[in-house]
Amino acid sequence: MGLIVSELRQTPVGEQELEIVERKGLGHPDHICDAVMNEVSISLSREYIKRYGIVMHHNIDKALLAAGAVRRNFGGGEVKRPMLMVFGDRATYEVDGDPVPIDEIAVSTAKKWFKKNLRFVDPERHVRYQVELARGSEALRDIFSRKGKFYGANDTSAAVGYAPLTDTERIVLHTERYINSPSFKKEFPETGEDVKIMGSREGGDLNLTIAMAFVDRLIENENQYFQRKAEVVEDVTRFVKSRVKFDGVNVDINTLDKRGRGMGGIYLTVLGTSADDGDGGQVGRGNRVNGVIPLNRPTCSEAAAGKNPVSHVGKIYNLLTYEIAQHVHQKVSGVREVYVWLLSQIGKPINEPKVAGVELILDKGVELKQVSKAASEIAKSDLNNINDFTKRLTEGKIPVC
């Protein structure tokens, strides 16, 4: 395998004048689709291993969450039409005449995820389920019966990952996790899980624009809504300032709000997610695999969530590039920023990409020849240990959104 290590002569993103970073939180419709379909892949992988000792062909990476309809009301509204979750793409439904209950596994996994993660969603009453999965192509299924230590790639796909996160990327990620933490929900139970954060840094000034669903059953009137929102703004601002050092920090929440407009002037939901009435979701429209949507960075266009974890390079390389970049940044001194590129060729072993590259932004005074060998050895080692990596993916030990 050829691997190119080169120097990237540019200003690290965290030192550039403008940076924009987004994160879609736990209850955002796009994140729901990514998270649920990846859990379905984990559940199917577990069932395949239990029955046959290996993961069989599946790609549960086409999914849609269609918004429902509600009537919002102070003190509690009602669901008029449930949300609809559509599961799409391919799975192995039987092996040598032995049927696998794919549809049942998909639906039960989704219900468990809703129950665990969204406090106000009843997965039996508030969501309908439509399974549109089918058997995969013979050629792609055949990959799983071929001999060899490493699976062949089931697609020609390119991926790129980087390290480290900038302060802006890190605070956007951590702020959403804080807002959806048990401690925050205990303090502000009227805030739903649907949170979207758009962070912008101009020089040393950080601005976070946050969309945060409130839950109507815990809001009695308009004045209470605006009072609690102000308290949330104060709390989140305090959290951000305690975690990062910026010249200025500004937090805005639900900027569409306007007093005196009734339900049209406030962001209220019945179930804590905009998917109950206002917005649908799709796999692949959520966060990149490192948890943010970094507009200043090159990123992979593949949706990792739901793809099978042992042969689909659209998932494996998508995540592995970030792990390799992290290892290089952690272990090689004199490196400020790392970008890792991998390109597969369908049918070729997943540990042998068609193209592999490592780009390094170096500290002042450090030359490429001082670090290139170490960076190359780390990348090659991670690729040769790719089966250990895919095992962790299969077990759900590596987050994808």
Helix%, strand%, coil% for the chain, nearest 5? 35, 25, 35
Q: Are strands 18-24 and 191-202 parallel, antiparallel or unpaired?
A: antiparallel
- For 41-74, the pLDDT digits (tens) are 999 999 999 999 999 999 999 999 999 999 999 9
Show me where the domains of the chain are located. 4-15+156-166+286-394, 29-145, 167-281
Cα 115 to Cα 32, 140, 323, 401: the distances in Å are 12, 34, 31, 19
Distances (CA, A) of 122 to 27, 37, 119, 279: 14, 18, 8, 18
The pLDDT of residue 146:
83
pLDDT at 148: 82
* Percent of the chain residues topping a pLDDT of 70: 100
Closest to 216 measured CA to CA, from 206, 228, 232, 230: 228
Report the pLDDT value the prediction gives residue 140, as an integer from 0 to 100: 80
Distance CA 304, CA 298 (A): 16
Q: Which of the residues in the chain have pLDDT under 70?
A: 1
What is the per-residue pLDDT for 1?
Answer: 66
CATH of domain 4-15+156-166+286-394: 3.30.300.280
Q: Which two tokens stand for residue 194?
A: 């649907």
Q: Is residue 66 packed enough to be buried (19+ CB in 10 Å), middle (13-18) or exposed (0-12)?
A: middle
Distance CA 63, CA 85 (A): 7
Asked whether the beta carbons of 84 and 127 are under 8 A apart, the reply is: yes
Of 347, 299, 301, 340, nearest to 320 by C-alpha is 340
> Can you say how many angstroms the Cα of residue 94 is from the centroid of all Cα atoms in its chain?
30
Tell me which residue of 266, 221, 263, 239 sits closest to 181, measured CA to CA.
239
pLDDT at 200: 98
Cis peptide before 123 (omega within 30 of 0): no
Domains 29-145 and 167-281 share a fold: yes
Strand-pair partners of 253? 210
What pLDDT sits at residue 2?
80
Fold of 167-281: GMP Synthetase; Chain A, domain 3 (3.30.300)
Q: What is the pLDDT of residue 142?
A: 82
| In CATH, 29-145 is 3.30.300.10 | yes
